[in-house]
């Protein structure tokens, strides 16, 4: 604003001294302005590349530090260091180009403004010799022009920096300008919820490329009844976890509808929905705080009695009481201070303390031994009369206890029914049970051989 005001006022005084020399000066401005214009575009392009290069370097560093155990176990510290060095070399080369551009910009700005001053002096001298302009007016004009040139130089110096800032913030504005595809929050929050869930011809796909999508669920229709345990089984990539993500409203069905107690799932308030649905996944996450705070996460008003009850149901109370500070023991960053099975049991307790109407267990006991797994599921199945349970597990000895079993294969429901009914059919489920038992027998034989 300061340079713009100086520019306008000085231009007015220059016109009052000599309109011819002012016109001559203005004719030279477009030539002078071309250079910072080009340099500004160059700075913007380089700034975008620098941001991308730094992002790649930061990604390497973040991946390395977050997976340090894997890096060390494969003795690849030097390899990761080299990867990071190569990324920084790319950033360094871009910074050198930026520095060359800055030097060229400064040099060219100085040369062009100096050339303009020389030409004005020469042209003003010819006007004085012709008697068109007095020597006093020429001196006054030159003084004004010096200030005018400094204003122009200031704008020319600032312009590339502004373009660089635009380039550096381009990604931010892209994110700000993105329109969310999630539907607006619903309005339903009934006092009582039965927990009756229905998938009606649900179709969903993940984008693979800009033009191609991978269909995960193909017109899936299933029902989760209140007070019952429904098991969802199938091979990897059959769409089991996708069903969970759709229930949590992390994604929206691309066709069909999911209903809760006869109402569309998206018509419920998001906060209400997540208060009523508790999910325990295989990759459970704990926070760097005490075990007490982790169990009461999102439900801080719960009493210690409720916390102990949930921990006992999750078969976690006994090992927690054996920790150095019991429930006040720090779980460590991402739960690093407790074992994998203990982490899963704390996560199950965190879900049960909310007394959810819908409980989703997605391979929630994959890190538990057989005895603890049996105790946890025995306690959970005793609670099914209070809520709807969706069970996803590869352990067939757990799945067979469910009231209803749904078999998914390549996004399509192949079979459904009770454990006995599906075994009689002799289809995909019976084949999975047979393979599981064979694998379990091999493990038992190896363990017996090791003991002998």
Query: 154 and 202: one domain?
Result: no
- Residue 215 is encoded by which pair of tokens? 């269909």
pLDDT given at position 451: 63
How many structural domains is the chain composed of?
2
Q: Which of 40-44, 97-101, 324-328 has the lowest mean pLDDT?
A: 40-44
- Residue 313 in domain: no
* The model scores a pTM over 0.85: no
Query: 203 and 143: one domain?
Result: no
Task: Indicate whether 242 pLDDT > 70.
Answer: yes
Q: Within 10 A of 72 (CB to CB), how many other CB atoms are there?
A: 10
Choose the final residue of a domain: 176, 210, 230. 176
Query: 20 and 132: one domain?
Result: yes
Residue of 30 and 202 predicted with greater confidence: 202
User: What's the CATH number where 360 sits?
Assistant: 3.40.50.300
- Residue 149 in domain: yes
Query: 137 and 86: one domain?
Result: yes
pLDDT given at position 364: 67
- Residue 61 in domain: yes
Average pLDDT, the chain: 78
297 to 19, 95, 189: CA distances (angstroms)? 75, 45, 22
Query: 268 and 410: one domain?
Result: yes
Residue 289 φ/ψ, nearest 5 degrees: -150, -175
First vs last C-alpha separation in the chain? 88
Query: 168 and 202: one domain?
Result: no
Task: Indicate whether 274 pLDDT > 60.
Answer: yes
- Residue % of the chain over a pLDDT of 70: 85
- Residue % of the chain over a pLDDT of 90: 0
Residue 389 pairs in a beta bridge with 229, 359
Contact assessment for residue 101 and residue 42, using Cβ atoms and an 8 Å cutoff: yes
Residue of 440 and 230 predicted with greater confidence: 230
Give the C-alpha separation, 366 to 284, whole Å. 11
* Long-range interactions of 58-64: CB distance < 8 A, separation 24+: 60/84, 60/87
Task: Indicate whether 273 pLDDT > 70.
Answer: yes
Q: Within 10 A of 216 (CB to CB), how many other CB atoms are there?
A: 23
Task: Indicate whether 211 pLDDT > 80.
Answer: no
Query: 141 and 252: one domain?
Result: no
Backbone region of residue 206 per phi and psi (left: phi > 0; alpha: psi in -120 to 50; beta: other values): beta
Domain boundaries, position 419? 197-291+353-451
Residue of 150 and 230 predicted with greater confidence: 230
Give the C-alpha separation, 392 to 362, whole Å. 5
How big is the chain, counted in residues? 452
Query: 49 and 163: one domain?
Result: yes
Sign of CA dihedral 423, 427, 430, 434: positive
Query: 172 and 232: one domain?
Result: no
pLDDT given at position 384: 52
- Residue 346 in domain: no
- Residue 90 in domain: yes
Give mean pLDDT, residues 303-321.
82
- Residue 345 in domain: no
- Residue 336 in domain: no
Q: Tell me: the pLDDT tens digits for 134-152?
A: 778 777 777 777 777 777 7
Quick one: pLDDT band at residue 162, thresholds 50, 70, 90? confident
Query: 125 and 263: one domain?
Result: no
- Residue 302 in domain: no
Q: How many helices (H) and strands (E) does the chain have?
A: 16, 10
Residue 50 φ/ψ, nearest 5 degrees: -65, -45
Task: Indicate whether 385 pLDDT > 60.
Answer: no
Residue 223 φ/ψ, nearest 5 degrees: -135, 135
pLDDT given at position 156: 67
Quick one: pLDDT band at residue 379, thresholds 50, 70, 90? low
For tokens 């199950």, name the residue: 348
Query: 152 and 215: one domain?
Result: no
Q: Tell me: the pLDDT tens digits for 344-369?
A: 788 888 888 878 888 888 776 665 66
User: What's the CATH number where 55 sits?
Assistant: 1.20.1560.10
Choose the final residue of a domain: 112, 146, 176. 176
pLDDT given at position 375: 64
Query: 209 and 158: one domain?
Result: no
């Amino acid at each position: 604003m300061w340079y713009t005001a100086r520019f306008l006022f000085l231009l007015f005084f220059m016109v009052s001294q000599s309109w011819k020399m002012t016109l001559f000066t203005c004719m030279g401005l477009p030539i002078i302005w071309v250079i910072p214009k080009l340099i500004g575009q160059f700075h913007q392009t380089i700034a975008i590349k620098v941001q991308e290069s730094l992002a790649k370097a930061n990604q390497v560093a973040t991946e390395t530090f977050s997976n340090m155990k894997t890096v060390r176990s494969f003795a690849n510290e030097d390899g990761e260091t080299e990867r990071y060095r190569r990324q920084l070399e790319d950033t360094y080369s871009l910074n050198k180009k930026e520095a060359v551009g800055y030097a060229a910009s400064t040099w060219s700005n100085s040369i062009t403004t100096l050339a303009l001053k020389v030409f004005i002096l020469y042209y003003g001298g010819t006007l004085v010799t012709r008697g068109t302009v007095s020597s006093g007016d020429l001196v006054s004009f030159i003084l004004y022009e010096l200030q005018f040139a400094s204003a122009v130089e200031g704008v020319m110096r600032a312009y590339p920096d502004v373009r660089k800032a635009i380039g550096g913030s381009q990604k931010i504005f892209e994110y700000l300008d993105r329109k969310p595809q999630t539907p607006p929050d619903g309005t339903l929050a009934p006092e009582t919820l039965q927990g009756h869930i229905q998938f009606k011809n649900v179709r969903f796909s993940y984008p693979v490329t800009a033009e191609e999508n991978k269909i995960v669920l193909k017109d899936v229709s299933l029902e989760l009844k209140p007070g019952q345990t429904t098991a969802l089984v199938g091979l990897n990539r059959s769409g089991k976890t996708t069903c969970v993500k759709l229930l949590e409203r992390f994604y929206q069905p691309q066709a069909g509808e999911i209903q809760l107690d006869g109402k569309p799932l998206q018509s419920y308030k998001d906060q209400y929905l997540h208060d009523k649905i508790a999910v325990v996944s295989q990759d459970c996450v704990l926070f760097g705080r005490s075990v007490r705070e982790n169990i009461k996460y999102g439900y801080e008003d719960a009493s210690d009695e409720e916390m102990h009850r949930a921990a006992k149901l999750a078969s976690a109370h006994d090992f927690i009481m054996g920790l150095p500070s019991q429930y006040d023991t720090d779980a460590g960053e991402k739960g690093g201070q407790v074992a994998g099975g203990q982490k899963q049991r704390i996560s199950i307790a965190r879900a049960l303390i909310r007394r959810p109407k819908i409980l989703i267990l997605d391979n929630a006991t994959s890190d538990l031994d057989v005895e603890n797994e049996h105790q946890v599921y025995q306690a959970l199945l005793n609670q099914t009369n209070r809520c709807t349970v969706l069970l996803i597990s590869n352990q067939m000895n757990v799945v067979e206890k469910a009231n209803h079993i749904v078999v998914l294969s390549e996004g399509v429901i192949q079979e459904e029914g009770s454990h006995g009914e599906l075994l009689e059919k002799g289809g995909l489920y019976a084949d999975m049970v047979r393979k599981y038992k064979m694998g379990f027998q091999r493990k038992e034989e190896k363990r017996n051989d090791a003991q002998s």
